[in-house]
Structures are given as structure tokens and as C-alpha cells.
Amino acid sequence: MIKEGDKIRFFEDTNVGSYVRFIESKGFNCYIKGFYIFVGEKNTYDKKTIGSRIKRMRELIYFGRGEMAKELGISQAEYDSWEAGKEVPEGKNLKAFCELTNSTKDYVLYGKGKWNSDADSLLEASWIKNP
């Protein structure tokens, strides 16, 4: 069982990426220092907040909901459930959304960090679409 504060030792020939992905899949932050993976605090998120963030990002790149769903290769109903805060994008869908919007998983799910360098100028110009 993984818990906050754990320190996991690994060896040079270990596939560290798979350990990190496993830890993150359990909802924890982690970082690597030397031959140790340190397990940080558990990530928590609010689906409604994520839905609002996803909607705002879509609006700032001037995509409609249907257009976004088509670009992501998912149904509009699935995409709409993200914006409504009923579901959260995961796995390949989250990765595709991040690539399409030039964002990071941490920004989409937790609002941490910045979206991208173009987002600042888009935010300044957002009055065009949202007066």
C-alpha cells in the first residue's frame, strides 16, 4: 500500500517510469532524487472545477463542443460529461486533450502551473468572445 511520505528505493536497471506512473495512477504526487522515489501528498480534484477549466480552455481556442469531441476522437456526449463535471478525462483522452490544447495534466486536473505561453495573450483577448 502506497502512502504519503513513502520512500521507494530503486536500482539503475529499474524502469522508473513505470513506478512513477503507478504511483500517479493511485493519485499521489511523486518526485525522484538519486535512487529514490519520494511519494508526496495525494492529489485531490473537484470534477466541477475541472469541467469549468476544460470549458474555458475550449472557448479560448475557439472550438465548439462537437468540434472538440471530433478532434479528440470521442463522442460529444463523453466530452459534454467532462465539461459538466460528471466525468474526468483519463489516460489517452487526457493525453489527447493536453496535446490539442498545449497544456499539461497537472494544469487540467489540478490547475497547477501555466497552461501555455499563448494562453496569456488569449486570456487578454478573451473579451472578444466573452465581453
Query: Could you tell me if residue 1 is inside a domain?
Result: no
As a whole number of Å, the end-to-end CA separation of the chain is 50
pLDDT of residue 97: 92
CB 78, CB 69: distance < 8 Å: yes
Number of domains in the chain: 2
Per residue, the 3-state secondary structure of the chain, as one string, reads CCCCCCEEECCCCCCHHHHHHHHHHCCEEEEEECCEEEEEEECCCCHHHHHHHHHHHHHHCCCCHHHHHHHHCCCHHHHHHHHCCCCCCCHHHHHHHHHHHCCCHHHHHHCCCCCCHHHHHHHHHHHHCCC
Do residue 57 and residue 114 come from a single domain?
yes
Residue 58 CA, chain-centre distance (Å), reads 14
| Model pLDDT for residues 90-99, shown as the tens digit of each residue | 889 999 998 8
CB 6, CB 26: distance < 8 Å: no
| Model pLDDT for residues 59-93, shown as the tens digit of each residue | 988 899 999 999 999 999 999 999 999 999 988 99
52 or 15: which carries more pLDDT confidence? 52
Q: What residue numbers bound the domain in which 30 lies?
A: 7-42
Residues in CB range of 131: below 8 A, 6 or more apart: none
Do residue 34 and residue 52 come from a single domain?
no
115 or 108: which carries more pLDDT confidence? 108
Residues linked to residue 36 through DSSP beta bridges, in sequence order: 9, 33
pLDDT of residue 117: 43
Query: Could you tell me if residue 2 is inside a domain?
Result: no
| Model pLDDT for residues 24-62, shown as the tens digit of each residue | 777 777 778 888 888 877 767 788 999 999 999 999 888
Do residue 60 and residue 83 come from a single domain?
yes
Assessment of whether the complete model's pTM goes beyond 0.85: no
pLDDT of residue 120: 52
Do residue 58 and residue 19 come from a single domain?
no
